[in-house]
Amino acid sequence: MTTALYDVCADASAVRGDLKSGGVGLVLGLLLVAIVWRRRDLAPRVLALGFLAVWVGVSAANAISDSRAQRRACAALGAGHVLVAEGPVTDFSPLPSDGRGFESFRVGGVFFRKAPGSGAGLSRVSVNGGPIRAGRTLRVANAGEEILKVEELAR
């Protein structure tokens, strides 16, 4: 019996984060435009509109890019274009307390290294509620450096 701990096809957290960032930028940009709109000089209005356009544009581009990467990763998982490692989590090294660096571990002799928030696959490290823990017996499906599915195996 297995328990699914992570599946890239069910994860839309990266796109949601991009959309939240875009919404915050939109609100701040509109507030800034409202504050400077009645000024006589043109420069503050142009800067406020430029800020609004750049923030929302970058957020939209990130959301589209993350959505495409997630769809490609889900397609690879569905088509079986993945490598699978099974076994206990060993050599587990959590993310350093300063939040910089990588979390690393081995499953079935395969080495994995994960940075928080990176890539289309699993981006949550253990300190942020991620599924990888020392001693767990897992099945990990990956494509390159992207972890696409994590299942806990019954002992």
The beta strands (E) that lie in 8-136 are given as 83-93, 103-107, 110-114
Looking at the structure, tell me whether residues 30 and 67 fall in a common domain. yes
Looking at the structure, tell me whether residues 119 and 100 fall in a common domain. yes
Q: Choose one of 50, 79, 108: the last residue of a domain.
A: 79
pLDDT above 70 (res 26) = yes
Each residue's pLDDT tens digit, 35-65: 888 888 889 889 888 988 999 889 888 888 8
Rounded CA-CA distance 102/114 in Å is: 5
Looking at the structure, tell me whether residues 41 and 64 fall in a common domain. yes
Looking at the structure, tell me whether residues 43 and 99 fall in a common domain. no
pLDDT above 70 (res 29) = yes
Looking at the structure, tell me whether residues 87 and 149 fall in a common domain. yes
Looking at the structure, tell me whether residues 51 and 18 fall in a common domain. yes
Maximum alpha-carbon separation in the chain: 72
Q: Choose one of 79, 97, 115: the last residue of a domain.
A: 79
Looking at the structure, tell me whether residues 90 and 75 fall in a common domain. no
Looking at the structure, tell me whether residues 88 and 148 fall in a common domain. yes
Each residue's pLDDT tens digit, 98-124: 878 888 999 988 999 888 776 678 888
Question: What is the sign, positive or negative, of the torsion defined by CA atoms of 132, 16, 59, 25?
Answer: negative
pLDDT above 90 (res 85) = yes
Q: Choose one of 49, 79, 109: the last residue of a domain.
A: 79
21 is in which domain, residue-wise? Answer: 10-79
Burial readout 22-61 (b: 16 or more C-beta within 10 A, e: otherwise): beebeeebeebbeebeeeeeeeebeebeeebeebbeebee
Q: Please, what is the average pLDDT of the chain?
A: 87
- Number of compact structural domains in the chain: 2
pLDDT of amino acid 129: 77
Check residues 81 and 128 and name the one with the higher pLDDT: 81
Which of 7, 154, 140 is closest to 84 using CA atoms? 140
Looking at the structure, tell me whether residues 19 and 61 fall in a common domain. yes
Looking at the structure, tell me whether residues 74 and 90 fall in a common domain. no
Looking at the structure, tell me whether residues 30 and 93 fall in a common domain. no
Looking at the structure, tell me whether residues 139 and 113 fall in a common domain. yes
